[in-house]
Amino acid sequence: MRVAVAAAAVALAAMACAGGADAHPHGTTYTMLGDGIALERTALELVVPADNALPWAFVEGTVNDPVDGYPVIIQVHERGGEPARFAQVDVGEDGSYEWRVRVLSVDGGVETRALVGAYDVTVFKVVHAHGDAGQA
């Protein structure tokens, strides 16, 4: 599985975290939903520097063995838990998805920064369950 959170010139990190006190541990978990399907939850970190010069950030990836009719849900929260952005995106025929978010706007020479700092990103996908413990 490949999930990328990226932006040209926006620093980011997708870090595996060994647990601990982090309210949103980084990594992937599965929850069985029944009828052979599972909810795949992947947690990532997005860091948007204050000096970022490009307008877009994006979340992209591939859903391995997606269940038809279920979109990908993307949640972006500030480190304190406050919601910053939410999105629902369709899964392509090849299993791919992409969501773009404007992080910088320039209007009449005035910059507006929609996102600055560190954010917790959670990506939810509905997949066909395989193997033990519902892992897809």
Residue 94 Rama label (left phi>0; alpha psi -120 to 50; beta): alpha
User: Which three-class secondary structure string do you get for 7-54?
Assistant: ECCECEECCCCCCCCCCCCCEEEEEEEECCEEEEEEEEEEEECCCCCC
Prediction pTM value: 0.76
Environment class of 72 (CB within 10 Å of its CB; exposed 0-12, middle 13-18, buried 19+): buried
Residues 6 or more apart in contact with residue 58 via CB below 8 angstroms: 5, 6, 7, 98, 99, 100, 101
**Residues 85, 75: Cα–Cα separation, whole Å:** 6
Identify any residues that bridge with 75 across adjacent strands, giving them in sequence order: 86, 122
Q: What is the pLDDT of residue 131?
A: 65
Q: What is the pLDDT of residue 21?
A: 31
Q: What is the pLDDT of residue 91?
A: 98
Q: Which domains does the chain have, with CATH numbers?
A: 3-134 (2.60.40)
Over the stretch 67-105, which tens digit does the pLDDT of each residue have?
A: 999 999 999 999 878 999 999 999 999 999 999 999 999
Which residues in the chain come in under a pLDDT of 50? 1-24, 133-134, 136
